Amino acid sequence: MTDDASARPLLWAGSYTAEFPGRGLGLTPLRRDDAGGLAVAGAAHTTASPSFAVAHPSLAVLYTADESRSTVSAFAVSGSVLTGLGSQPAGPAVCHVAASGGFVAATCWGDGRVLVYPLDPAGRLGAPVLAAPAVDPHADSRPAVDVHTGDAPRSQAHMTLVLDPLSDGSRMLATTDLGYDLVRFWAWTPPAAGAGTDTPGSLASLGEVALPLGSGPRHLVRTPDGRLLVVTEYSVEVAVLEPTASHDPASPGDPAPVAPYRLARTVPVLADGAAPGDSGAEIALSPDARHLYVGVRGSDLLVTLELDGPALRPVAQVPSGGRTPRHHLVDGDRLHVAHQDSDELTTHALSPEGLPTRIVARLPLGSPTVLAASPARA
């Protein structure tokens, strides 16, 4: 372990802190040790319950979803030291942030809000633009009480994936809605050049895809051939969304725009089916896009699925190495897993074929929620 502030971290780990309640300190810088595991690379930066974190693609800035405070924050990164660049309001239980060159998008589990924050040249957050609220496509058949929350059903936005630029200069986004079983698509048009972050951009609907009732879409990735793979929290499946015919972004405000993707199939994560109490967590692609790694809470497994052209099938599963594998991150020939309820990170070695083989290291860390790559310019 080192407290050298000049040490450049490889990763940042977010943790739930005492007010959540959690046992972590906020944001902890990490580096690889000589065995290929993780070690602390400096003093933790104390901030309230960052449930997700992401680096700016070209600036030395890190963004966090501050779940307990309902805010999104920005931090300048210098080695293993963070300096606050300010916060902006979000919605209840903001749980995810995604960053592109000119904006940050946030999703809120508590009330379904989707927000986009334009960025100034230094990476500071501007005032958010709020997306239109979701409408439940299963309203006529959904039970009056959500068995997972014990409350009336509600929209629960959970992740944003930044997709391709569109021909009109806007940027396509995809967001999941865990509560309403939706994947929604958006066109983000930034503020005009020189307008400043006080001048809002616009966020217009490009349509949506309804997943099966009660599936609970959580996180998603895109394959090199353009498919979207969505892990479902409740049904513990991977939903495969395929691109539709070319989408015309010239009229994104149409009353019922045709979504740029369609649901092709769903594939069980576990070959023998999920056990009672299981739930899907994180989903990640291998660097060569031959494998998909899915965390399963409850049974606490790390499951590998193989991608073979259009086919997707589970090929291996191993214990994740702790309790409640909330998030994981592929790091070359290693895969690191954040275990929220056993207060540790585990590092799995990946074989040349991309399969987890053994746990090679463990690092104690209170209530870890997320692992984020450090900004390239930090």
Label residue 309 by pLDDT band (50, 70, 90): confident
Q: Name the percent of the chain lying above pLDDT 70.
A: 93
At residue 174, does pLDDT exceed 80? Answer: yes
This prediction's pTM: 0.94
Six token digits for residue 100: 């592109």
| Tens-place pLDDT, residues 258-280 | 899 999 999 999 999 999 999 99
Task: Tell me the sheet residues that pair with 241.
Answer: 228, 263
Label residue 199 by pLDDT band (50, 70, 90): low
Instruction: Summarize the confidence of residues 3-10 as an average pLDDT.
Output: 60
**Is beta strand 38-40 parallel, antiparallel or unpaired with respect to 45-46?**
unpaired
The DSSP output letter for 335 is E
Six token digits for residue 367: 């209530």
Six token digits for residue 30: 């990490």
Assess contact for 133 and 180: CB atoms under 8 A: no
The full set of domains in the chain, from first to last, is 11-373 (2.130.10.10)
Say which residues have a Cβ less than 8 Å from residue 195's Cβ, sequence separation at least 6: none
| Tens-place pLDDT, residues 351-370 | 999 999 999 999 999 999 99
Label residue 36 by pLDDT band (50, 70, 90): confident
Lateral strand order in the sheet of 325-331: 325-331, 334-339, 344-350, 356-364
Instruction: Summarize the confidence of residues 100-112 as an average pLDDT.
Output: 96
DSSP per-residue codes, 246-277: PP-TT-TT-SSPPPSEEEEEEEESSTT-PPTT
Six token digits for residue 237: 């499946």
Q: Say which residue the tokens 């994936």 belong to.
A: 161
Q: What is the pLDDT of residue 256?
A: 67
| Tens-place pLDDT, residues 207-236 | 999 999 999 999 999 999 999 999 999 999
| 52/268 Cα distance (integer angstroms) | 26
Please, what sign has the CA dihedral across residues 155, 161, 164, 168? positive
Six token digits for residue 326: 């909330």
Mean predicted lDDT score pLDDT of the chain: 93
At residue 38, does pLDDT exceed 90? Answer: yes
Six token digits for residue 142: 């959904």
